[in-house]
Homo-oligomer: A and B are copies of this chain.
Amino acid sequence: MRFVPAIKDIKTYEAGKPIELVVRDYGVDPKDVIKLASNENPYGTPQPVVEALKGSAHNAFRYPDDSMFELKSSLGAKFGVGEKNIIIGSGSDQVIEIAIRAKCGVSSKILTSKTTFAMYEIYAKHVGAEVVKTASSEHKIEEFKEAIKKDKFDIIFLCLPNNPLGECLDRDDVYSFLEEVDEDTLVVVDGAYQEYAKRKDSKKSIDPKDLIERFKNTIYLGTFSKAYGLGGMRVGYGIGREEIIEVFYKLRAPFNITTLSLVAASVALKCEEFVDFSVARCFEEMERYEKFANDLGFEFIESYTNFITYKFDNIDSSDFAQWLLQRGVIVRNLASYGVNGIRVTIGKSGENDSFFKKAKEYLELQDSI
């Protein structure tokens, strides 16, 4: 059977491996598996959300309120924007997909940094668009400025802070760049980890309302999957001018958020203390990861997220990640991103102990070979 031509070039996303797989494939006891691969919040689901989910379980048979009235009201109040400025996606991923399908076709161009969230490129391939990347792996605002002088783009993705590397541009640099961008170019500011970045350094903080008021061609993306502890519920959002959101809505599938996910996200929005606690603990534990790298003599990237990226010279990241996996420690190998490194989610203290112990074992083995 013949299919549309663009499909043959599509790569599929390599997800962090689930705990079930490690149990099945390597016979590790589930309680010994440490998952530091998908940047979930290690402090779990906020307790008020757990209670709300239990109280709503019997409603699983009811289609969701597709107007998402309650969640949009709460988000609108939090950010000081109207409900017509908000679109809810099945993860912010889905808003990325919609943005690309709204703006791009086979003759379109998209600009990203060299090493950034894989889904930008995967969704671009779905519609046959070309992805142009800056020379540096990390976001360098000068390289973005040069790129738009040479070429016209339909979409520019800025991942602030950047997944999977962890670095983050300053807001002032982002704004100075946005001044120069063509008004017909959509700029997607992906703030999936903003809850972490803005608490670590206010210079990194991007306020969605301020952003879209200053620059009418921007969309801000946020998610409940990270700091809010709802990775499994698939809820993200886009905030933009009404005229953009209205178009995006035409491409949104009805009922894209489950009934229980709407409940979970609405309740999670009220759990600011949980977010504060999670972020504070994250950066305390991250210092141990930085020290570990310094002690063992390899490079890390200063991170504004809930993960840290280690880069290696004499170690093969694929071998290292696989060795850890077989021993129940799941981290994210960055080989598929063209980086000889690993991305490790900052876990709870005990989980991090396990990582350091196992990682040291592997590194000592390498030294002895």
Contacts and interface: CB of A to CB of B under 8 A. Distances in A.
Interface of A: 1-4, 7, 10, 12-13, 15-16, 18-21, 24, 35, 38, 40-41, 44-45, 49-50, 53-54, 57-67, 69-70, 90-91, 93-94, 97, 101-105, 119, 126, 183-184, 186, 216-217, 225, 229-234, 243-244, 247, 249-251, 253-261, 264
17 contacts: A3-B247, A18-B63, A18-B67, A20-B69, A21-B67, A21-B69, A38-B63, A45-B60, A45-B61, A50-B58, A60-B229, A60-B233, A61-B230, A90-B90, A90-B256, A101-B126, A233-B259
A256 B3 CA distance: 22
Contact of A61 (B2, B40, B244): B40
Given A97-B253, A126-B251, A232-B260, A45 B67 contact: no
A1 B217 CA distance: 7
Which of A93, A101, A234 gathers most chain B CB within 10 Å? A234
A66 B2 CA distance: 27
Contacts of A62: 19, 35, 40, 231-232
A9 to B, nearest CB: 9
A54 to B, nearest CB: 5
Contacts of A253: 90-91, 93-94, 97, 119
Nearest to A37: B63
Contacts of A243: 1
Contacts of A3: 102-103, 247
